[in-house]
């Protein structure tokens, strides 16, 4: 098989089950690279009777022998990263020697969380419903060219000078906004200098490493966090995260040319969920939505917040496929729909009486959209754990065929449960060929 480098990313608003899929497919790759976001992500992976929630470390870490890298596009809370490493190592997973962290990734500090809390709670501010991890303010500092990168943190002289400057600025803002939260900056500085020593052995020029590995024919899987509709440029702005969760983010967030990446695979639930504020055309806030939440265990892996649930949204998926050019789609949590005798699917949006062909940019328009739904027969039959497409009830196959026809994207894989083997990879699909 020729070298094929793939991106796997969320086709909806995150939480599509990418963790399991990356873990599963990483068997066929040498390196798994995370390219954006931070510890706002929560990738749940079940292996046997063990359940792992990975926030920063790519899901490939659960496959012995694979190298995992955290690219420059990720924002890193060193305390969270070290904690995650310790948890994995305590569970017998070897991390040291297999994880590399980009020296160009930006660092999250406690004052970022403080700023985020202030902007989420200040009267009159639009509340985004963030994960409160300081992600947005850390990216703000990066774009404003005053952020502190891992490379800076490792050079104590550079770090102390930059830290003093940024602290002065944060203190000014805190005073102006009357933020009362006491932060001990001297303690913070020495704590971060301590983190630097613990991180030093992992830090590398990840872009160089990945490019050289590709030169040698090693295969790379790029792991997206969050989802396309949370992308800072293409999502439901301003109700988005602060990074590029879309395919382009893989290139800038690791330092690999798009010309070296061969295909993009989207992951979508058989329905849809969203956490936090913002428009959600197919949201189901009645009993049917609650049942989906219960059956799908739709509670945030990081924050525990109940996820908002709704029906599969075809126009949304067509949009996210356009932005990412999906070669194939993985549909997860099909079994959550097993109880239904009828399944609504949104096929179009109506806005002020007319049908929309394109995804509106204004959040207000998206809030006002009415989903036009078609109702498909359910299968009322257990599909949990099925491993062969032909074992799926005919109505489940028709449902998937309908989604495929309407979205124009092949469904190459179906997940029927959280375990690795509760998966149907369709033989002969583009995805099966890409995986080799
Ligand atoms: P932030 O990324 O913490 O700034 O949050 C911005 C928005 O993205 C909020 O609506 C969050 O709920 C959402 N979000 C961030 N990370 C995830 C994720 O991993 N899954 C689902 N939603 C997320």
Residue 98, ligand 1, Cβ within 6 A: no
pLDDT per residue as tens digits for the range 36-61: 999 999 888 888 899 998 999 999 99
Residue 1 clears pLDDT 60, i.e. is over it: no
Q: What is the model's pLDDT at position 179?
A: 87
C-alpha torsion sign, points 368, 373, 379, 383: negative
Per the CB < 8 A criterion, the answer to whether 30 and 218 are in contact is yes
Residue 275, ligand 1, Cβ within 6 A: yes
CB atoms closer than 10 angstroms to residue 94: 12
Which carries the bigger pLDDT value, residue 125 or residue 143?
Answer: 143
CA of 436 from ligand 1 middle (Å) equals: 33
Q: What is the model's pLDDT at position 180?
A: 84
Q: What is the mean pLDDT of the chain?
A: 95
d(CA 51, CA 269) in angstroms, rounded, equals 20
Q: Is residue 15 annotated as a catalytic residue, yes or no? A: yes
Task: Exactly one of 30, 39, 43, 152 is catalytic; name it.
Answer: 43
d(CA 260, CA 136) in angstroms, rounded, equals 29
Residue 206 clears pLDDT 90, i.e. is over it: yes
Average pLDDT estimate for 289-300: 95
Q: What is the model's pLDDT at position 303?
A: 83
Selection from 99, 88, 94, 5 nearest residue 43 by Cα:
88
CA of 275 from ligand 1 middle (Å) equals: 7
Kindly give the residue spans of alpha helices, DSSP state H, lying in 310-393: 314-324, 363-368
Residue 14, ligand 1, Cβ within 6 A: yes
Question: Which residues lie closer than 8 Å to 308 by C-beta, 6 or more apart?
Answer: 273, 274, 275, 280, 283, 285, 289
Q: How far is CA 127 from CA 24, 122, 124, in A?
A: 36, 9, 9
Per the CB < 8 A criterion, the answer to whether 350 and 356 are in contact is yes
Q: Whose C-alpha lies nearest to ligand 1, atom 11?
A: 130
Q: Is residue 43 annotated as a catalytic residue, yes or no? A: yes
CA of 131 from ligand 1 middle (Å) equals: 6
CA of 214 from ligand 1 middle (Å) equals: 31
Residue 29 clears pLDDT 80, i.e. is over it: yes
Average pLDDT estimate for 60-65: 94
């Amino acid at each position: 098989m020729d070298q094929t480098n793939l991106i796997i990313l969320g086709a909806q608003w995150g939480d599509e089950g990418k963790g399991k899929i990356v873990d599963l497919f990483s068997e066929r790759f040498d390196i798994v690279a995370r390219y954006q976001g931070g510890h706002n992500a929560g990738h749940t992976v079940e292996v046997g009777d063990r359940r792992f929630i990975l926030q920063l470390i790519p899901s490939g870490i659960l496959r012995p022998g694979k190298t995992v890298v955290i690219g420059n596009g990720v924002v890193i809370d060193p305390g969270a990263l070290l904690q995650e490493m310790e948890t994995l190592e305590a569970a017998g997973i070897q991390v040291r020697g297999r994880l590399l962290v980009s020296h160009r990734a930006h660092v999250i500090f406690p004052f970022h969380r403080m700023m985020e809390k202030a902007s989420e709670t200040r009267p009159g501010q639009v509340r985004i419903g963030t994960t409160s991890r300081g992600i947005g303010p850390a990216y703000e500092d990066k774009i404003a060219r005053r952020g502190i990168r891992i490379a800076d943190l490792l050079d104590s002289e550079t770090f102390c000078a930059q830290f003093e400057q940024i602290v002065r600025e944060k203190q000014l803002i805190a005073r102006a906004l009357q933020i009362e939260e006491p932060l001990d900056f001297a303690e913070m500085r020495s704590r971060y200098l301590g983190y630097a020593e613990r991180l030093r052995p992992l830090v590398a020029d990840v872009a160089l490493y990945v490019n050289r590995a590709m030169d040698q024919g090693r295969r790379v899987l790029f792991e997206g966090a969050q989802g396309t509709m949370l992308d800072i440029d293409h999502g439901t702005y301003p109700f988005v995260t602060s990074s590029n969760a879309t395919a382009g983010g893989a290139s800038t967030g690791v330092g690999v040319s798009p010309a070296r990446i061969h295909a993009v695979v989207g992951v979508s639930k058989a329905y849809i969920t969203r956490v936090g504020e913002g428009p959600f055309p197919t949201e189901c806030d009645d009993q049917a939505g609650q049942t989906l939440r219960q059956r799908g265990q739709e509670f945030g892996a990081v924050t525990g917040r109940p996820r908002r649930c709704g029906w599969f949204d075809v126009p949304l998926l067509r949009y996210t496929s356009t932005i990412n050019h999906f070669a194939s789609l993985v549909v997860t949590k099909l079994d959550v729909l097993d109880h239904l005798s009828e399944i609504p699917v949104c096929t179009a949006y109506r806005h002020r009486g007319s049908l929309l062909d394109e995804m509106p940019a204004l959040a207000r328009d998206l809030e006002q959209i009415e989903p036009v739904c078609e109702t498909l027969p359910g299968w009322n039959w257990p599909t949990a754990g099925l491993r062969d497409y032909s074992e799926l009830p005919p109505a489940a196959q028709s449902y998937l065929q309908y989604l495929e026809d309407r979205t124009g994207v092949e469904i190459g894989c179906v997940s029927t449960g959280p375990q690795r083997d509760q998966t149907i990879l369709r033989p002969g699909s583009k995805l099966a060929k890409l995986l080799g």
